[in-house]
Amino acid sequence: MNIVSLFCGIRSRLLWVSACVLLASPVFSAELKTSKEKALTVQANLGYATVLPGHKGAVATVQPLATEAAVNAFAKGGNAIDAALAAAFTLGVVDSHNSGIGGGLFIVARLANGKVIAIDGREMAPAKAHRDMFLRDGKASKALSKTGALAVGIPGSVQALYELQQKGGALTFDQVLMPAAKLAEAGFPIDNTLANRLARTADKMQPFEATKKIFFDKKGQPLQAGTVLKQPDLARSYRSLAKHGPNWFYRGEFAKQTAQWMARNGGIIDANDFARYHTVHREPVHSRFMGYDVYGFGPPSSGGAHIAQMLNMLDGLPIGTMTDAERYHWLIEVMKRAFADRAHWLGDADFVPVPKGLIGADYAKTLRKTIHPSNASETQKITHGMPPKAASDFFYKQLNKHTTHLTTADAKGNWVAITTTLNTSFGSKVVVPGTGVLLNNQMDDFVAAPGVPNAFGLVGGEANSIAPFKRPLSSMSPTLVLKNNQPVMTLGAAGGPTIITQVLQGLVNYLALNKPLEQALDTPRVHHQWQPDWVFTELPLEGKTAKALDAKGHKLRKAGDFGGTQAIVLKNGQFEAVTEPRIIRRNQKPIIKVN
């Protein structure tokens, strides 16, 4: 497979996120109805992003039903934390190809008391995992790390969402969860995106009977757009979770059922792995850019560190007066250097030393000196840098040595950014029988062997090798921006490694270029990840800017539109919420009717 085909495959799996209709604002409805007829109409007249009356809050998600769930949580007296949880659990029902309780997530939130927190709900490798578990005859088996029992990491979403709710939610855990359970039981009409994702992934889902039972019809075909998808097993799981809390998932019936399935199907996860799962409350990665405080997520996310690193390289440059070609040139060059460092240095900072010097201003100045203002750098000549104190000053202390983004905010000062994923479409393709829960395939985010690309073409080194209870490296980049200790912006994205570059460009376009929020997200994007030495771009290759970049020596490859960014800003006391404009354009047609 050539790299263009690989990138297009990545885009089709993760960047084309779920949505159904284009309308301006959601219906402020009561709890979701239960009859089939009403379930068919519940997606009508909904929007992806909305601001509550009186600017009391804001929501942006990739699916109108998730946005409605967040709005309903506000209507019940909840705050942005409750709204975020309601949206996240609903996405597990309607956006199951991307997210769900069988996956993991990162949370960056600013609480009403002014504290910024970061909760690591990333999956963990099981106790029996080992460095060479995906090697067969000395070569990495990509199939084993992507599909089936061995691909699964211990999910973290449930515990992380529960802990966020305990930090300051106004509603109870069951109040934010039960609407999603009712929706799973009542059903909803499958949108075109979910139907297309099912069609593309059907052959890999075929071997798993519990998965087919949910997503295939009686003739053995993947469900079509407009079909009402009911998930009674998932509804029961949600009800059990609402009643018993995370213990049901990590130490109760779900853990036991999963362990039993693993034992029968060649897996290595057991009940003790679930019982040992824990979140980590991280120190947010903090950097400064043009007078703003930018908070991101640290390792095992690579996004926070490298967004800070790239912003540091750009800070002080006359970005606002550059031509488009000049600006893109600098963006591409800082991307190359950040991704070269990612491949070498980044991993789970509880297991490997990840230098804090990566986000230092002096290190950024050193890297910036290697960038020619007019000519593209030759990627083969770029290697990882050597940050200051690389052998002594690390993120945290070592203990023993496709994706969805949603965001909410309220007038009390609670701001929440959550990026959550199963990894590639429908994760491992495994549904634990009787639970309705799709399990992730995050083990593919480890390095199966140094230098071997993962599903997104990313290479890595020993820092991201497999080890028991280690968390795989991620590109998820929930981000929060403050000025004078007050929140002004939050954003995050879906799309594998392009998450990092999407967030970077959203920040630059809004903070440095002062573009309106929707335009800041809609501006054509570029992406470079060091290897291969290609610039994936939305720019028309025959256009003036692309020709100018080509003249500088950049190797452009047209990628179509890519990305899935959600953002909220607060300006002059007014909220604005925007869901990825590319999503809106891709889903302008209404849902097709059921036959």
**Domain 282-400+477-577: which CATH number of 3.40.50.970, 3.30.70.120, 2.60.40.1730, 1.10.246.130:** 1.10.246.130
The pLDDT score that the predictor gives to residue 22 is 24
pLDDT in the model for residue 392: 55
Which residue, among 50, 21, 29, has the nearest Cα to 579 in the 3D structure?
Answer: 50
Known catalytic residues are 403
Q: Strand, coil or helix: what is 355?
A: strand
The ranges of the chain with pLDDT < 70 are 1-46, 384-386, 389-402, 449-460, 587-595
What is the reported pLDDT for 535? 96
DSSP 8-state symbol, 12: I
> What is the model's pLDDT at position 583?
83
The residues that bridge with 188 in the sheet, in sequence order, are 229
pLDDT at 523: 97
pLDDT at 17: 27
> What pLDDT is recorded for position 395?
55
pTM: 0.89
DSSP string of 259-296?
A: HHHHHHTT----HHHHHT---EEEPPEEEEETTEEEEE
Q: How many residues does the chain have?
A: 595
Compute the distance between CA of residue 284 and CA of residue 282 in angstroms, rounded to an integer. Answer: 6
**And the tokens for 460?**
């890595």
Which three-class secondary structure state does DSSP give residue 403?
coil
Residue 115 neighbours by CB under 8 Å, 6+ apart? none
pLDDT of 38 reads 37
Q: Taking the domains of the chain in order of start, what are their residue ranges? A: 3-275+409-414+425-464, 282-400+477-577
The CA radius of gyration of the chain, in Å to the nearest whole number, is 22
What does the pLDDT read at residue 458?
A: 56
Q: Is the previous residue joined to 532 through a cis bond, with omega within 30 degrees of 0? A: yes
Question: Residue 57: which H helix or E strand, with range?
Answer: strand 57-60
Residue 393 is predicted with a pLDDT of: 58
